[in-house]
Amino acid sequence: MKPNWQYLLLALAMALFCWYLVTGREKVDTWMPMRVEMTGLPEDLYIKSGMIGAVDVLVRGPRGVARKIDESQLVYSLNLSKIVPGKNIVLFETKNIPLPKVYEVVEIRPTRLELDVERRAAKTVPVKVMLRSSPPNGFSMSAVKAVPDTARLTGPADKLDKITEIRTQSITLPQPPPARFDERVPLDVPEDVDVSPPAVQVVMGFAAKESEITLRAPLAIKKPKGREADVAPQAVTLRIKGPAAIISDKDFPGLVEATLELKPDIEPGKYEASYRVKMPQGCELIEAKPDKVSLTVK
């Protein structure tokens, strides 16, 4: 008896159909991560602690398709419109999980959040310029200012109540300091607080402190060849003003020179002569005694 190919084909089709019914209806459980996004948070409230970025979800679905869920598309929208200052319990609900009806959400971990919520406030405070160290010896500082000189803070109300000023990050001054310091400096922002602007322009002026000194300087004579000369007195008294850092140096007297230079064609005789004083840059001769000396050329 010959086999009927039509019956064989029908039997194969029925076998495939039965296999589909068995495997297609078999359910499997799969754990998947799901991002959590906040919505509806009142602008005047701040979540101090308790918020998380993701939950784990146990999903049940037909074998073969349960593992085809695109995890990057799974987002739990957490409605926070009803939270109030203090402790808040927020439950995760399966109905808020965006999955097709073919899937069943079995479990969510964690099942809830305990949020510590504070009221958010805003205030404007003055900016204080902070230096890592005082200006170096011999320099004075003036016209210290920040532009702008105030900053607007937003953050937890209880924290803002304790803030009366906001400081710049500590500034290290160059050595020696410039006549004008003008740089943008970030503000030192407390934790959980936002500030606007985040940095200010700091402007400072520096000037060398001045001092005076009175000293005796020997009078040096530069004579032309073939001439001899005597001078009286042989030392002069000089009063000099200049930067304190320079004048207070123990080697400063050795940097001051009083010189009498004779002309090449000077004739023998007696003269009243002026002398020249050389000193470090930035110094000024206030007084010289005597202003002229007696010169005898031989």
For 210-297, CATH number out of 3.30.70.100, 2.170.120.30, 3.30.70.580, 1.10.10.10 equals 2.170.120.30
Domain 5-110 belongs in CATH node 2.170.120: yes
5-110 and 121-208, same CATH topology: yes
161-171 in b/e form (b: 16+ CB < 10 A) is eeeeebebeee
- Three-state secondary structure string covering 160-200: HCCCCCEEECCECCCCCCCCEEEEEEEECCCCCCEEECCEE
- pLDDT, position 176: 80
pLDDT level of residue 52 (50, 70, 90 thresholds): very high
DSSP 157: H
Q: What does residue 73 show for φ and ψ, rounded to 5 degrees?
A: -90, -5
Average pLDDT over residues 222-247: 90
- pLDDT, position 59: 86
d(CA 169, CA 152): 17
**Domain spans in the chain, listed from the N-terminal domain onward:** 5-110, 121-208, 210-297
Cis status of the peptide bond prior to 98, with omega within 30 of 0: no
Q: 121-208 has which CATH code?
A: 2.170.120.40
Per-residue pLDDT reduced to its tens digit, 144-161: 999 999 999 998 888 899
pLDDT level of residue 257 (50, 70, 90 thresholds): very high
Per-residue pLDDT reduced to its tens digit, 101-140: 778 888 999 999 999 998 889 999 999 999 998 887 778 8
Q: What is the pTM of this model?
A: 0.51
